[in-house]
Amino acid sequence: MNNASGATRMAQRFRGFLPVVVDVETGGFDCERHALLEIAAVVVGMDEAGFLHPEPVVSAHVVPFPGSELDPRSMEVTGIDPYHPFRFAVPERAALEAIFKPVRAALGANGCQRAILVGHNAAFDLGFINAAVRRTGHKRNPFHPFSCFDTVTLAGLAYGQTVLSRAVEASGHAWDANQAHSAVYDTERTAGLFCQVVNRWRELDTFWQRGHPPA
């Protein structure tokens, strides 16, 4: 019987990486030119049985960096008013630290070496994170600079769907289109999807190990 704690098992599950689900909302598709406007992150936890679950979300609204551009088409999709006073937006460096600090704490608590970004089209989110890190000169980025887990691939494998809303619905959960394109909402839905796919794999793997192939 394996009596390892969830934290210990997390350190062993992904080669010492800690999955952290991230979503960004931006002013366009070019991470060097377009503004980072919202960022949210969910640390993935593990229970003593080895099943994953999302931890509470952390987030920040971001002030567009000096000289950044806002593509009107992207702004129409997100509905974000970058300069609305009630956004309580902070500069990029402060926003990064608001996300990085709890991630670094979770790394220590789980005995993991580095965070690995989980995202839906993860390269997009990682590109904007890396660009903001370069602009601000942040020296304590907990994320691996290029490795990531992509729920587009996982959802395509598990449910035959690659669009986030359809993948979430195919997994048996509701999708609220009115809340979509909010970094917090999309991160929470992506985290649930990631945990469900990985947990399903664990269930099937355990089933096979016991000599009972799934029907």
Q: Edge-to-edge, what's the strand order for the sheet holding 36-46?
A: 52-61, 36-46, 17-26, 114-119, 143-150
DSSP-H helix ranges across the chain: 6-13, 72-78, 92-110, 122-136, 151-159, 164-170, 183-209
Residues 7, 111 contacting (CB under 8 angstroms): yes
Residue 181 annotated in active site = yes
Which of 120, 173, 181, 212 is catalytic? The answer is 181
Question: Do β-strands 143-150 and 36-46 pair in parallel, antiparallel, or remain unpaired?
Answer: unpaired
Active-site annotation, residues:
181
